[in-house]
A and B are shown apart, each in its own frame.
Chain A
Amino acid sequence: MRNVNVRKLVKTIVFTLICLIVAAIILFPIIWMLPAAFKNKAEIWAIPNEWLPKVFYTKNFEKIFTSNLVNDYNFISSIGSTFLVSVIAVVLSLLVNMFAAYVFANFEFRGKNFLWYYFLITMFIPGITILLTSIRVVSVLQMTDTLLVLIIPGLVSAYNIFFFRQFYYGIPRSLEEAAIIDGCSRFKIFFKVFLPMSVTPMVIIGVSVFMGYWNSFMWPTLTIVNNSEIAQVMQVIRILNSTYSGEYGIVIAATILSIIIPLTLFIIFQKKIIAGIAVSGLK
């Protein structure tokens, strides 16, 4: 019996150690990066490089907070506009995709099968394939260089519709039928019955939509070209990266600021997100 206990203890210790090591490896790049934001030009690429700066240099952040870092790009306003875009996109995207999922899960109508495959096929179209022609489309629609071009084209996602549909299948039919007998319209049922029940998938999908918009790089780079006021975070960081490669502390400072919002989001919703992986993993 004691033997078993000792073995268990050894096992726990070994596993704890493995966990510690893995967590350390994963967190190391971030931890290594943080002090670099306070290094000046001379220290950032010095050899040998030290973790903590010798001189605590705050000019990098000062520069980030002043306007016109490079060609009218202002990092703080890019954070603001990216946040605005992402939040609006999350709200609209959830609504549009949930509508569609609700219809596919609970309605019978002519052309349903065709429409379902019509939607589904878009899951397999890589962004790059339609990149050039999408730019053509949005420029015909006069959307280039406006916030609309950032928000609208990416709203619908077949994968998200699929995800919600699977979820709605799990909601008992009887609930809906009862509501119909009560005289609710199908539209109203969605808001009264389905919406309140789908908070968890809304959080899961909402966060992923938010991250998709927050981290998007290629699309804004090619569609927001003449309006630096609404440039997106990743776009600006990429430009900073090639402009301030010498004063890399500025890039690092921008990087740190850019991960604060997603990280906060993660901390707030971490329970739901982690629980959601179990579901979303099996698409």
Chain B
Amino acid sequence: MEYTFDEYQVVNKKRHNRFKYRGSKTAYLMLLPAFVLLSVFVILPLVLAVVRSFQDYNTGAWVGFKNYNYLFTLDKLYLKSFLNALIMTAIISALLLIFSFLFACVLRAMNNKFGKVVKVLIYVPFFISGIIASVIFNLIFNYGGGLITSICVLLDKDPISFTSTTPLAYIAIIAPTLWLGFGYNTLVMYAGLINIPEDYYNAANVDGANSFQKMIYITIPNMKNYTVLLVINMVTAYMQMMEIPMMMTGGAPLDTTLTPVLYLFNSFRDPSRPDNVTIAGAIILMLLIMAVNIVVFKTLRTKRSEDA
């Protein structure tokens, strides 16, 4: 039996589809564990959270936006905590981007054994949690007898409190956070840098460009995608900062270092604040983080399709 070309196409497609759909039972089976776990431990709690954010904690009655309202009228601390987190996120992200980019450039130039060792060394803090970092930095910032206080005393100056005065308290939060994130960000930047084709620089050399021009016209534009991704990572992570502020300052002074997640964590423990208000607050946080991510993803995607 012979097929015409068109018939052949149809049969082939069918066969291909059969191949593609073959074993969809296996597919469901292999997907099942992840699906169940995700549904039970992420989606279900999320649905419950949304429901509870519209209910009264004690009675379970529907109360509309009352829980959300609480955060905007009765306890404005939550709004303030967003502002704090925003300020700290902006400072930390900017500093990390600049430092890690510059140091990645240095590392690229140091293309030897020593450079490799340094890469490993600066990555060490990445394995340390916020709790541990705070314990370590407490030895430095502690007002009662830390390193800085000791240095002040040796210089015959009055000790400075980094954990209870503005704006120094920001430093007590920012320093450990930078310390934890610097290695990772630098190595990502480094990976981006070595991915820039050498030809670009060779061509620029032929044109007689100096290092500054090469930086502006080649390096920085080519790092755009890496930078955007790092920014998403950082914004998502630092808007949810909690362990370091909790341990270093506890939100003091004047609640200037209180972060949204710390506020929510505290209010979970504060019996006078209804849980459902806490949940409502957490949903606001989620929407904010989703919005940031979606906006950046969208711009990134259009950017990529343009590139392609």
The short answer to whether A and B are in direct contact, CB under 8 Å, is yes
The residue on B at minimum CB distance from A112 is B27
Chain B residues closer than 8 Å to A131, beta-carbon distance: 264, 268, 282
Measured in the bound complex, the distance between the Cα atoms of B225 and A87 in whole Å is 34
When distances are taken between beta carbons in the complex, the residues of chain B under 8 Å from A96 are 33-34, 37
With A128-B285, A131-B268, A277-B188 as contacts: A99 and B103 at CB distance below 8 Å: no
**Residue in contact with B289 in the complex, picked from A30, A110, A124, A185, CB distance below 8 Å:** A124
Residue of B nearest to A25 (CB): B179
* A133-B154 contact given A45-B145, A218-B265, CB 8 Å threshold: no
From known contacts A16-B110, A262-B127, infer whether A122 and B285 are also in contact, taking CB-CB under 8 Å. Answer: no
Question: Which of B5-13, B81-89, B111-119, B163-171 is near enough to bind chain A?
Answer: B111-119
B33/A122 in contact, CB under 8 A: no
Report the interface size for chain A: residues with CB under 8 A from the other chain.
90
Chain A residues with Cβ below 8 Å from B252 are none
Closest to A188 in B: B26
Which residue of A124, A130, A152, A215 is within 8 Å of B290 (Cβ)? Answer: A124
Contact code string B17-42 (vs A, CB < 8 Å = 1, else 0): 10111111011111101110110111
Contact A29 B41 (CB under 8 A): no
Q: Are B183 and A217 in contact (CB under 8 A)?
A: no
* Contact, CB under 8 Å: B142 / A45: yes
B136 at interface, CB cutoff 8 A: yes
In terms of DSSP, what is the predominant structure of the interface of chain A? helix
Q: Which of A26, A138, A251, A283 has the most CB of B within 10 A?
A: A26
B182 and A110 contacting across the interface, CB-CB below 8 Å: no
- Which residues of A from 202 to 247 have beta carbons under 8 Å from B? 211, 214-215, 217-218, 222, 234, 237-238, 241
Q: Which residues of chain B are within 8 angstroms of A44 by Cβ–Cβ distance?
A: 145
Q: Is the CB of A126 within 8 A of B282?
A: yes
Closest to B192 in A: A281
Docked-complex contact B124 and A266, CB < 8 angstroms = yes
Judge whether A1 is part of the interface by a CB distance below 8 angstroms: no
* B107 located at the interface, meaning its Cβ lies under 8 Å from any Cβ of chain A in the complex: yes
Q: Chain A CB within 10 Å — which of B24, B31, B48 has the most?
A: B31
A53-61, A63-71, A153-161 - interface stretch: A153-161
Determine how close the nearest CB of chain A comes to the CB of B132; give it in whole angstroms.
Answer: 5
A255: Cβ under 8 A from any B Cβ: yes
A126 nearest CB across to chain B (Å): 5
A36 to B140, CA, bound (A): 11
CA–CA, A238 to B282, complex, Å? 23
Known: A15-B110, A241-B247. A29 touches B179 (CB 8 A): yes
**CB <8 Å contact, B42 and A274:** no
B187 at the interface (CB under 8 A from A): yes
Query: Is B40 a contact of A103 with CB atoms below 8 Å?
Result: no
Contact A234 B131 (CB under 8 A): yes
The reply to whether B21 and A129 contact each other, CB–CB distance below 8 Å, is: no
Assess the B150–A47 pair: CB atoms within 8 A: yes
B20 touches A108 (CB 8 A): yes
Give the interface residue-count category, chain B. 35 or more
Q: Does A136 contact B (CB under 8 A)?
A: yes
- Contact assessment for B31 and A282 in the assembled complex, using a CB-CB cutoff below 8 Å: no
> Does the CB pair B124–A27 fall under 8 Å?
yes
A132 at the interface (CB under 8 A from B): yes
Binary B-proximity of A249-263 (CB < 8 A = 1, otherwise 0): 001100100110011
User: With a CB–CB cut-off of 8 A, which chain B residues contact A215?
Assistant: 128-132
Among B135, B149, B194, B240, find the residue whose CB has the most chain A CB atoms closer than 10 A.
Answer: B135
Are A132 and B121 in contact, CB atoms less than 8 angstroms apart?
A: no
User: Is B144 in the interface zone, CB < 8 Å from A?
Assistant: yes
Report whether B127 and A33 are in contact in the complex, using a CB–CB cutoff of 8 Å: no
B286 A125 Cβ-Cβ under 8 A:
yes
Q: Are A23 and B145 in contact (CB under 8 A)?
A: no
Contacting pair B21 A217 (CB below 8 A): no
B282 and A99 within 8 A (CB): no
**6 A-B contacts, Cβ less than 8 Å apart?**
A19-B115, A22-B122, A126-B240, A128-B240, A217-B243, A278-B191
Given A126-B286, A137-B44; 14 other pairs, CB 8 A cutoff: A23-B122, A45-B144, A97-B34, A99-B30, A103-B31, A108-B20, A108-B21, A136-B45, A138-B41, A158-B38, A217-B243, A238-B247, A241-B134, A252-B139
Closest 10 A-B residue pairs measured CB to CB?
A45-B145, A278-B191, A215-B129, A281-B188, A109-B24, A130-B45, A133-B45, A133-B48, A100-B34, A107-B27
Interface residues of A (CB under 8 A from B): 11-12, 15-16, 18-19, 22-23, 26-27, 29-30, 32-33, 36, 44-49, 96-97, 99-100, 102-103, 107-110, 115, 118-119, 122, 124-134, 136-138, 141, 152-156, 158, 161, 180, 185-187, 190, 211, 214-215, 217-218, 222, 234, 237-238, 241, 248, 251-252, 255, 258-259, 262-263, 265-266, 270, 273-274, 277-278, 281-283
